[in-house]
Homo-oligomer: A and B are copies of this chain.
Amino acid sequence: MARIRLIDVAELAGVSMKTVSNVVHSYPHVAPALREKVQAAIDQLGYRPNLTARRLATGKTGMIALAIPEIDHPYFSELSRHLAEEATRRGYRVIIEQTLSDPDLERAVLSDREAGLVDGVIFHPVRMETLDIARLDAGTPLVLLGEAAMPVMTDHVMIDNVSAALDATRHLLASGCRRIAFLGVIAADITGSTNQRLLGYQQGLLEAGIRLDPELVFTALEFTAEAGLSSVAEAIERGVHFDGVVCRDDRFAIGALKALHNSGRSVPGDVAVVGWDNTFLAAYTSPTLTSVAPKKTELVAAAFDLLEERIAGYRGVGRHMIAGHSLAVRESAPLTP
C-alpha cells in the first residue's frame, strides 16, 4: 500500500527523476530505448503521479469550482453537466460547491474555501449582492452567472431576460392570446431576474397595444410548483379571465398546468402556457411545455472563456456577456393557436 514515488521508478530504471518525469509527460527528446525501459519500470511498479505534489510544484491545480445554489435543481444540474463536459474538453476538472442560497456559504465561496485549491471559480450567486461580491472578490479568478450581482470589476454572463420575456410574450400574442398573465412575482426574490422578465412581458403587451392589467400579474409565495399551482388556482377562483401565461420558471409552469387541469381548462385550447429554463421537465409534462431556452452551452462556453482569460492573467475591468436564448416550442403553446 506504500505509494510508489517518482524516485522509486527512477531507481528501478536506473535513471534520474527528471527522465522519468519526461517520460510521464511525453517530452519529445527521450531516446526510444530509454523511454521503453522507464515505461517498463512504471508499469511494473504501477506508478501513478501524485497530483497534489505536481500542483504544488507547478502552481496550477487544473480544477475549477462551480458554485450553485442547488445541485438537484434541474436548471443547475443541467448547467453542471454542460460545464463538466466543457471542463473535460478543456482539460479541467470540476468541483461543485452547493451554497443552498445561504449567504454565509456564498460568502465562503469567495473567501477562504477555494484558496489554492482551484484555478478559478464560476459562481451563480443568489443572495450576495454586487457590493458584497466586489468587497470579497480577491485573488482567485472569478466569473459570475445570473442576474443577482454584477460588480464592475468582475466578469459576468447572463441571458437577456428582458428580450427573452419579450419573445415569450410575442409568441403568445402571435398565437392569438390577448389576456396574458405573468406568473409570478415573488416577495423572496431579490435576484432581479423576475423584474427583468416582467419588464419584457410588459413591453410585449405594449407593442401589441394592450394595457397591462395588474390583475394578471400573479404572485407566488415561494419557488415551487405548489406555490405556482395555488397562485393560479386562486386567480381562477377570483374569476380572473386569461388565455395565456408567461411563467418565470418551469416549476411554476408545471403548477399552472396542474391548476388549469384541475379547473377543467384545456391547455393550450383555453390557456396557452410558456415556461422558463427549458429544463428536461418541459418534455415530461402533459401537455409538453413550451419554454424559454437559455443557450446553456453558449453560457457555459462564454463563462469558461472569460475564466480562462482571467487564469491566464487578465486583470482588467469586468466583461459582461450576454448568452443567447430561444423559445423551445412544444404543446402547451404551439406556434399556431
A interface residues with partner B (beta carbon < 8 Å): 1, 3, 46, 48-53, 55-56, 61, 63, 70-72, 74, 77-78, 80-81, 84-85, 88, 93-98, 111-112, 115-117, 138-139, 225, 251, 254, 257-258, 261, 280-281, 283-286, 315
Contact = CB atoms under 8 A, between A and B. Distances in A.
A186 to B, nearest CB: 19
A78 B88 CA distance: 22
Contacts of A81: 70-72, 98
A84 B248 CA distance: 28
Contact of A50 (B1, B70, B115): B115
A3 B48 CA distance: 29
Nearest to A112: B48
Contacts of A1: 139, 315
B225 A284 contact: yes
B46 A56 contact: no
B61 A85 contact: no
Nearest to A66: B96
Given A77-B77, A251-B284, 17 more contacts: A1-B315, A3-B116, A48-B111, A48-B139, A51-B116, A51-B117, A52-B56, A52-B61, A53-B116, A71-B77, A71-B80, A72-B280, A74-B77, A84-B96, A85-B98, A94-B96, A225-B283
